[in-house]
A and B are shown apart, each in its own frame.
Chain A
């Protein structure tokens, strides 16, 4: 839209990037602070939501508070306590209704959730249409938030809600932990699991009301789930998971706000995007499980295998000098000659081969290792032949399995220490 570009250009001229950077801190401090606290609270609760596989319920409650909020709006206008009470009531009604539907119908929990929250939301929308003329309920703001519109009142309500949420979780930490890990055990120990469940639901509803202004309902669900999922990916202890999740929630809010001012985008969705990018990074970079770690590990294994193959091939050259005319590269195709070169370099550095022309030569240490490999290979061939594998597959299979050479000794024992493999080649004895 060219008209909007007109404005965007003039605004871009007027506002320097330094002003964009500092504006949240200077002129919009309240909005920034509120958003960060709300993000942190959602992150904290999200830890439990994600662990208990309740993400869908979190989504449901976020939507289902609408009728509660509208009714409160009708009765007490924008009084903040009224909104909280309305939202809490709606949240509890939703949780109860989902349980009832699951128990008394064939519908499984996911269907029950879908049924209940859409119905609540529909009721809410109808109620909005019946608001007396003149009162204005901004549904779009409810759904998507408007952090720039945060006022002192919102700040006060967040100040009220945050300690309640944090305090309750700290107080009930152990029962909640038990409930999340093993609800059956919790019940057998006499804890009222329904009560605990509803306490969580109430905390969730209250926090969502606090989140309404800054990120709106739809984004609140994302802030509930994404930072917690990231923490789940990265941590192994519950208290650590909750801490990371809380920190990430607040951080995503802060960074999202700054980026929104930098690029003139709506802040709510930016916060969600930041949280998501962090999650993707965690997915990629997590130690052990992340893409990067897996890829690095694979590469290391590949290199290791190539090095062992080089050693083995050099030993074979020594065994049968008439074949020595062939080069390593030819013998080890389809391996990349450069990779072979790198393997030789690494082997030389570790003292297993000496560089030579045209091919490197084994050191005594290298030869011992190569003998190990050969032994493993021939043992595997013997074993596979015994187990009935076809002769033409023996070599290729053994080529693969030989690299699990820790099993060689056990294999040798089980086979009764054979002297030669099915092709008649000697099986080297281990030194010492």
Chain B
């Protein structure tokens, strides 16, 4: 049952939602991590995804990206299945998932955003380099363009990843914990960038642990294996919902799942 969301900004571009997830169920090693998730995100929205550890937030992102097999349900990006919509989706991973000792410069990392378009055998051309420069300019990293990525701070690394997503000319950006490990000043700077992207019509779905800045998002998705709530922060972020989100309701389900897997106590 997709929740209708009243948005702050009018919907843009296509009629199809940026991201539409219906009845999504994903398991990992026979344990369900996401169950019957229904979400529809219109374009141009800045959406936060919050929930406790193990709630399936990263799993949701990976499922949307087509990195995980799904048990049931459907995922459509801009009205199309992910396999056909890859160009339009950019993944901005956690900064510690990359190898910062790798011998490349900032510019080369951003250039990787163009690789999707180049395919296996293509070579970057002037137009590609131009987009890279523009992306660097947008995130304010032009001064660092030819520096080795090893020399960057956490916030700068995050901006490089954003620039990469920008260079990819994606319309939907999935960000996995972009605020992890940065100070308040950097966090504000990153959020400002995200806001600007969203103003430009891109859809950003941001997995986030920080509850303080939720009111600046267009919508909040509360996820703990199932959708606890979804809607504008003013409506959705309440003490009640937070309790349901971080509380122990799911522990019974966990136990039941385990019992089903291993057999009832008297059979074990």
| A-to-B contact residues, CB < 8 Å | 51, 171-172, 174-175, 177-178, 180-182, 184-185, 187-191, 232, 235-238, 240-241
Q: Binary interface profile of B, 112-148, with partner A (CB < 8 Å = 1, else 0)?
A: 1001101011111000000000000000000000001
**Interface size (B, Cβ < 8 Å)?**
29
B99 at interface by CB-CB < 8 Å? yes
A51 touches which of B66, B102, B112, B121 (Cβ 8 Å): B102
Report the Cα distance A237→B148, complex, angstroms.
8
A182 to B22, CA, bound (A): 30
Question: Complex: how many Å from CA A253 to CA B86?
Answer: 45
Q: Which partner residue on chain A sits nearest B66 by CB separation?
A: A188
Q: How far is the CA of A172 from the CA of B97 in the complex (A)?
A: 23
B59 interface residue (CB < 8 Å to A): no
A189's partner among B86, B98, B102, B105 (CB-CB below 8 A) is B86
Binding site for A on B (CB under 8 A): 65-67, 83, 86, 89-91, 93, 97-99, 102-105, 108-109, 112, 115-116, 118, 120-124, 148, 150
Q: Is the CB–CB distance between A189 and B103 below 8 Å?
A: no
- Minimum Cβ distance to chain B for residue A198 (Å): 14
Q: A184-B91, A185-B91 are in contact. Are A174 and B122 (CB under 8 A)?
A: yes
Whether B116 and A180, one on each chain, are in contact in the complex, defined by CB atoms closer than 8 angstroms, is no
A235 to B148, CA, bound (A): 11
Q: In the complex where A188-B65, A188-B66 touch, is A181 in contact with B93 (Cβ < 8 A)?
A: no
Provide the bound-state CA to CA distance between A230 and B206, in Å: 40
Main secondary structure of the interface of A (DSSP, over half): helix
- Other than the known A174-B118, A174-B122, A185-B112, what 6 A-B pairs have Cβ atoms closer than 8 Å? A175-B115, A182-B98, A188-B66, A189-B86, A189-B116, A236-B103
Q: CB within 8 A of A181: which of B102, B122, B123, B150?
A: B102
Closest to A176 in B: B120
Contact A189 B97 (CB under 8 A): no
B148 touches A184 (CB 8 A): no
| Contact call A235/B103, Cβ cutoff below 8 A | yes
A191 contacts across to B, CB distance below 8 A: 115, 120
**Bound-state Cα–Cα, A108 to B103, Å:** 27
- Interface pair A184/B115, CB less than 8 Å apart: no
B103 contacts A175, CB within 8 Å?
Answer: no
